Amino acid sequence: MVPDSAWRYRTVGDLARPCLAEMLGTFIFVFVGTGAVLVAHWRPELGLLGVAAAHGFILAAMVTITLPLGGGHLNPAITVALVAGGRVRKHVALAYIASQLAGAAMGGAVLGILFGTGLDPYQMGDVLSFAADEVALGTPSYAPTVISPIAAVMLEALLTFALVLVTYAVLVDPRRPRMGGVFVGLAYAALMLVGEPFTGAAMNPARAFGPLIAGGRLTLHLWSQHWVYWAGPLAGALIAAALYEAAFMPRPGRSVAFPVVTGDMQREQQQRTAVDQSPPMARRAEEKEAGGGQI
């Protein structure tokens, strides 16, 4: 995601491109993910699986696209976790978070226009406005009769903890696989299937902020819950970052039970295997040639 020194020493003037990437990536993520919630209420056949898939697919695409441009955070919780891990400087993080929130607000605003939240659905009879009204423009929320605020914070923290662990493993760790953004999207979709019925499974303060601030009268009653979608994700992200940095991140001198075989290591192992499997006389000839001795 962010090499150890890639963005650490950037000046403010150098932040324009990565901040633009963060804003556009978050805008598209919030537009598609939140839009799927609205469409699912309008067309129930989409269902929870469709909503989770929409979030996961678009997140995988946006992380993959913005990864080389800005780091592929698209989530204030991810950015804060990387600050805690010493991988992003604080002024860069503040610029990223501001860009993410701006992009999320833009995504919510476009959905507000598309679904006609300025109209009175009961007067106009507009099915799209009814959908937006029923789900508060797709803003994550929880029902106090189903889950308490503390339990909601704990659930969001646990979901985000798992998401950040995956993010660290596939985007930050130097042993990361290629196309790590795909795994982040898959993890997000899977976690949504568990948490969405309870809290909306935001795992991302920007995902909750965008439709909330753009919803106007539709979301006024949800401002009192908004702290949950900052406290939970930030707590889970910080714990995950601290754990991965302390326990799993490779460091000089740290033994690894099952080391990853890099290209150089693999070639060295192949050469050793070839020598071990060669006939004895051939091995002795090679040893003589290397050491200048006699067979």
CATH at 100: 1.20.1080.10
| Tally of helices (H runs) and strands (E runs) in the chain | 12, 0
pLDDT above 70 covers a percentage of the chain that reads 76
- Predicted local distance difference test score (pLDDT) of residue 6: 43
- Predicted local distance difference test score (pLDDT) of residue 112: 86
Most confident residue range from 3-12, 125-134, 177-186, 278-287: 177-186
Judgement on whether residues 275 and 195 belong to the same structural domain of the protein: no
Judgement on whether residues 33 and 98 belong to the same structural domain of the protein: yes
Task: Examine the pLDDT at 289 and tell me if it is beyond 70.
Answer: no
Task: Examine the pLDDT at 50 and tell me if it is beyond 80.
Answer: yes
- CB-based contacts of 84, cutoff 8 Å, min separation 6: 237, 238, 241, 242
- Predicted local distance difference test score (pLDDT) of residue 5: 39
Judgement on whether residues 295 and 228 belong to the same structural domain of the protein: no
Judgement on whether residues 222 and 279 belong to the same structural domain of the protein: no
Judgement on whether residues 193 and 291 belong to the same structural domain of the protein: no
Judgement on whether residues 281 and 181 belong to the same structural domain of the protein: no
- Lowest-pLDDT range, 76-80, 85-89, 100-104, 276-280? 276-280
C-alpha span between 241 and 97 (Å, rounded): 17
| Per-residue model confidence as pLDDT tens digits over 184-234 | 999 999 999 999 999 999 999 999 999 999 988 888 999 999 999 999 999
Judgement on whether residues 218 and 80 belong to the same structural domain of the protein: yes
Q: What is the mean pLDDT of residues 21-50?
A: 93
Residue 256 lies in a domain: no
Judgement on whether residues 98 and 226 belong to the same structural domain of the protein: yes
- Predicted local distance difference test score (pLDDT) of residue 125: 44
Nearest to 80 by CA among 289, 271, 239, 251: 239
Q: What is the mean pLDDT of residues 238-244?
A: 97
Residue 261: exposure state from Cβ atoms within 10 A (0-12, 13-18, ≥19)? exposed
- Predicted local distance difference test score (pLDDT) of residue 225: 96
Length of the chain: 295
- Predicted local distance difference test score (pLDDT) of residue 15: 87
- Lowest-pLDDT range, 51-55, 250-254, 257-261? 257-261
CA angle, corner 99, sides to 96 and 103, nearest 5?
A: 140
Residue 252 lies in a domain: no
Task: Examine the pLDDT at 276 and tell me if it is beyond 90.
Answer: no
With cut-offs at 50, 70 and 90, classify the pLDDT of residue 14: confident
Determine the structural domain holding residue 161 and report its residue range: 12-247
Distance of CA 25 to the CA centre of its chain: 11
Residue 255 lies in a domain: no
Token pair 């490779």: residue: 250
Q: What is the mean pLDDT of residues 259-263?
A: 45
The total number of structural domains that make up the chain: 2
Residue 7 lies in a domain: no
Judgement on whether residues 159 and 77 belong to the same structural domain of the protein: yes
Task: Examine the pLDDT at 84 and tell me if it is beyond 50.
Answer: yes
C-alpha span between 143 and 57 (Å, rounded): 27
Residue 163 lies in a domain: yes
Judgement on whether residues 142 and 164 belong to the same structural domain of the protein: yes
Distance of CA 234 to the CA centre of its chain: 13
| Per-residue model confidence as pLDDT tens digits over 4-13 | 334 444 455 5
Residue 141 lies in a domain: yes
Token pair 């493993």: residue: 169
Task: Examine the pLDDT at 259 and tell me if it is beyond 60.
Answer: no
Most confident residue range from 34-43, 51-60, 284-293: 51-60
Residue 24 lies in a domain: yes
Question: Packing angle between helix 180-199 and helix 149-167, nearest 10 degrees?
Answer: 170
Judgement on whether residues 292 and 239 belong to the same structural domain of the protein: no
- Predicted local distance difference test score (pLDDT) of residue 89: 93
Judgement on whether residues 125 and 216 belong to the same structural domain of the protein: yes
Token pair 């303060």: residue: 205
Query: Is the pTM higher than 0.95?
Result: no
Residue 129 lies in a domain: yes
- The CA-to-CA distance between both ends of the chain, in Å, stands at 53
